Amino acid sequence: MRVYLDYNATTPVAPAVLEAILPFLGENFGNAGSVHTPGQRARAAVDSARESVAALIGAKPTEIVFTSGGTEADNLALFGSVAVATKPRKHAITTAVEHHAILHTCEELKRQGIDVTVVPVRQSGEWQGIIDPKEIRRALRPETVLISVMHANNELGVIQPIEEIAPIAAEAGVRFHCDAVQSAGKVPLDVNRLGVDLLSISAHKFCGPKGIGALYVRTGTSLAPRFFGGHAERDRRPGTENVPGIVGIGKAAELARDLLAEDSARISAFRDRLEAELLARIPSARVNGARTHRVPNTTNISFPRAGGEALLISLDLQGIACSTGAACSSGSTEPSHVLLAAGLSRDDARSSLRFSLGRPTTAAEIDYAISVIPSVVERIRSLSPRGPITAGEPQVAAR
């Protein structure tokens, strides 16, 4: 049996999305910038996809800029905002648990002379992994031009208090960007309720194709482009439109919106069962991150004294695909920056696995995972220099 539990890394393209895309890889090959009939057909498809993506996040179609994915949307938001800011010194605020698409972009901003404050998250208890909005207020300076805080964390699944940070940003007159790549399609998103000026999403996290995403840009928010060329995306992101990708994200957004309530109820029930059974069957296993403020599909669990990489490989041999953290850092020996920021020791961070469920996840897959994971952890632990954890050892309470 093969069980895929790594939907935060990527998802399969939904059959209806594939069906919607195929004609645009075949007979409907027109350039959306052309005036003739094939071009108009492509333009109509792009316009309709823009409406679907806007509807998923409560935006206007004119506020959607298609990009090559979440990374580009994040880069456009950060570089594009800092470039238009007129303050003589510039400062940006972000958090310690952001995806590298934000953190590495901030490192580049620093190299370009921009000051960046990285706000910590709470390291224990019911808010583990979540920032205290007061920390954002404390980090503000007269020269602050941008705040960027993610919505759902890709490793822990915890949801940051975006609605509480928005008024702090607005009061200070600072623009507010949110990386919502891991929450789109998992929880309801409304840019007006969240109060953000910019918001990034990526299709391949919600059953759309890879290489297509979008940046929401609130009406009236100026943004310097990163690319120069034609006038596509109202000059904000020139280049011939990726029509099949755009059609794909549009259809995926439509499905996500229609299925959200149903998906999240089913998926969270599976996730909770998997989590409860693993905690009950595996001594000293504990959940990382706040358990109440989370997306429905993610659980991150530490299995002290069992190396994450060894677990990952053994589970893969048993047909189970999961992750030790962000996909891009798999294979690296460095523990996850998110888990360290959330207060885990380096050893515990190295002994943690992320299980992320998706629309195709079935009860039979969860049963299989529950039957296999405990014995794999036990075997890896028995190979650890400190030997297996015995029944008499104190158990660490689950958080």
- Nearest of 110, 115, 99 to residue 8 by alpha carbon: 99
Q: Return the number of the residue (74 or 197) whose C-beta is nearest ligand PLP.
A: 74
Q: Return the number of the residue (10 or 268) whose C-beta is nearest ligand PLP.
A: 10
User: Judged by CB under 6 A, does residue 150 bind ligand PLP?
Assistant: yes
Q: Return the number of the residue (99 or 286) whose C-beta is nearest ligand PLP.
A: 99
Catalytic residue among 106, 178, 322, 328: 328
Whether 73 contacts 202, CB under 8 Å: yes
Task: In angstroms, give the least distance from the CB of 220 to ligand PLP.
Answer: 25
Binding mask 165-204 for ligand PLP (x = CB under 6 A): --------------x-xx-------------------x--
Q: Residue with the closest Cβ to ligand PLP?
A: 70
Q: Return the number of the residue (357 or 376) whose C-beta is nearest ligand PLP.
A: 357
Task: In angstroms, give the least distance from the CB of 154 to ligand PLP.
Answer: 3
> How far is residue 68's CA from residue 74's CA, in Å, rounded to a whole number?
11
Q: Note the helical H segments in 198-299.
A: 243-281
328 is catalytic: yes
Q: Note the helical H segments in 282-358.
A: 308-317, 337-341, 346-350
User: Judged by CB under 6 A, does residue 213 bind ligand PLP?
Assistant: yes
Q: Note the helical H segments in 174-229.
A: 191-194
Binding mask 65-104 for ligand PLP (x = CB under 6 A): ----xxx--x------------------------x-x---
- Nearest of 394, 383, 391 to residue 311 by alpha carbon: 383
Q: Which residues contact 163 (CB under 8 A, 6 or more apart)?
A: 193, 194, 195
Binding mask 100-129 for ligand PLP (x = CB under 6 A): -x----------------------------
Task: In angstroms, give the least distance from the CB of 180 to ligand PLP.
Answer: 8
Q: Indicate the pairing of strand 298-302 with strand 352-356.
A: antiparallel
Q: Which residues contact 166 (CB under 8 A, 6 or more apart)?
A: 176, 194, 195, 196
Q: Indicate the pairing of strand 352-356 with strand 91-95.
A: unpaired
Active site members: 328
Which residues contact ligand PLP (rule: CB under 6 A)? Answer: 69-71, 74, 99, 101, 150, 154, 179, 181-182, 202, 213
